[in-house]
Amino acid sequence: MQSLKNIGVIAWNTFRESVRDKILYNIVFLTIALAFFSIVLGEWSVFDRAHVIKSTTLTIMSLSGLLISVFVGISLVQKEIQRRTVLTLLSKPIGRASFIVGKYLGLMGVVASHLAILTCVYYAILVVTNSSPTISLLSAIYLVFWELAIVVAVALLFSSFSTPVMSALFTLGVYFAGHLSGQLLEQVRFVQRMGEIEGTSGAILEKAAVVIHAVFPGLYRFNISSYVVHGLELPDMYLLWSTLYAVGYAAVFLAIASWWFSKRDFL
The Cα–Cα gap between 187 and 155 comes to: 29
* One-letter amino acid for residue 209 of the chain: A
pLDDT for 245 = 93
Provide DSSP, 37-81.
Answer: HHHHHHHH-SS-HHHHHHHHHHHHHHHHHHHIIIIIIHHHHHHHH
pLDDT digits (tens, 9 = 90+) for 200-258: 666 677 777 777 777 888 888 898 887 877 777 888 888 999 999 999 999 999 999 88
Q: Which residues contact 243 (CB under 8 A, 6 or more apart)?
A: 146
Distance between alpha carbon 58 and the CA centroid of its chain, in Å? 13
Confidence of residue 23 (pLDDT cuts 50, 70, 90): low
Closest CA to 264 of 33, 80, 74, 122: 80
